[in-house]
Amino acid sequence: MAFAITISVLLGIIVLALWRFLSAGTGLVLLAKELRSFFFSPVAWVVLTLVMLLNGFSFTAALADLREGERSVTLTAYTFNSIQFWLAYFFIFPVITMRLFAEEQKLGTIETLLTAPVTTIQLLLAKYLAAISFYIILWVPSLLNFFIFQMNSIDDHSSIGSLTGSYTIIFLVGMFNIAIGCLASSLTKNQLVAAMICFTFCLLHFLLGFVLQNLPVPDAFREIVTHFSTQIHVRTFIDGLIDTRQIIYYISSAVLLLSITYHVLEFRKWKV
């Protein structure tokens, strides 16, 4: 019962926010503007190139391991279940999000935006959805790698369940971490500071499971913390197990972080 209520409340908040965003078409105009700013920036293309190199390296390394003999895991698990992949992965979010609000504050245009006939929720969702859209585009080439490999391979090294789970957790973690980046960017006008805050908290959340491995903490506390550990979630989803509890966790956490960011922007609005 409590689970169903949680889902209903969460869906209600998301639907209401999107309705306000799409009302009068202003949100779509802002979203188009933010998307253009992403793709007109050289940083975006540098990030896209680096992500393609990261995915290509991970995919190639996974193929090399599979060529050595029979393995009990899928190609997808080899590709995404590497600590090197995930540590490099967290450099993506500071670069994507550090300029979202910090640049506006540095240039002094945030006051103009907040006093324009645009609601704060429309401004926030435009920037957040633009970052999410760009983030999704980053992973399209890696998905093509698996399809091309599957079309040219007589052996089934890639499980559809593992592939679905892997990209689901990548999206969920990305959605959560971009929300962290939005909050960090709204707190300062210095993009480097925003990037450092975002990277630190994203990485700490991921390493939560590692930190407790060698610490003398009660088992009850250890069990509670593992429910919030990205490391544990990644293993579960890569195995092809779609856990709705983790989906709710990441969506609700992103909503909470965006709500805090909204109040930060509202505070700045009333200071103008």
Q: What are phi and psi of 73, to 5 degrees?
A: -120, 165
Average pLDDT over residues 50-60: 78
Least confident window among 12-26, 94-108, 238-252: 12-26
CA distances from 124 to 21, 31, 118, 141 (A): 9, 10, 10, 28
Q: Find out whether 89 and 178 touch, Cβ atoms under 8 Å.
A: no
What percentage of the chain reaches a pLDDT higher than 70? 70
What's residue 79's pLDDT? 74
Amino acid 180: pLDDT: 93
Find the length of the chain: 272
- Quick: pLDDT tens for 210-244: 666 556 666 666 666 667 777 778 878 887 788 78
**Predicted local distance difference test score (pLDDT) of residue 178:** 93
Q: What is the pLDDT of residue 183?
A: 92
Radius of gyration of the chain, Cα coordinates, nearest whole angstrom? 20
Residue pLDDT, tens place only, 200-213? 888 888 777 666 65
Model pLDDT, residue 153: 60
Over residues 20-29, the mean pLDDT reads 68
pLDDT in tens, 113-147: 666 667 778 888 888 998 998 898 888 887 887 77
Average pLDDT over residues 60-68: 71
What is the SS3 string spanning the chain? CHHHHHHHHHHHHHHHHHHHHHHHHHHHHHHHHHHHHHHCCHHHHHHHHHHHHHHHHHHHHHHHHHHCCCCCCCHHHHHHCCHHHHHHHCCHHHHHHCCCCHHHHHHCCHHHHHHCCCCHHHHHHHHHHHHHHHHHHHCHHHHHHHHHHHHCCCCCCCCHHHHHHHHHHHHHHHHHHHHHHHHHHHHCCCHHHHHHHHHHHHHHHHCHHHHCCCCCCCHHHHHHHHCCCHHHHHHHHHCCCCCHHHHHHHHHHHHHHHHHHHHHHHHHHHHC
Contact 13, 262 (CB under 8 A): no
Span 93-116, mean pLDDT? Answer: 76
Residue 238's Cβ-side half-sphere holds a number of Cα atoms within 13 Å equal to: 18
Model confidence at 10, in pLDDT bands (50, 70, 90)?
Answer: low
Do 151 and 70 form a contact (C-beta atoms < 8 A)?
no
44: which residues sit within 8 A by CB, 6+ positions away? 38, 134
| pLDDT, mean of residues 36-65 | 79
**Structure letter (DSSP) for residue 92:** H
Span 74-88, pLDDT tens digits:
677 777 776 667 767
The confidence score (pLDDT) of residue 263 equals 87
Amino acid residing at 162: S
Tell me the C-alpha distance between 179 and 198, whole Å.
9
| AA identity, residue 139 | W
pTM of the model: 0.85
Closest Cα partner for 87 from 222, 203, 245? 203
What's residue 142's pLDDT? 79
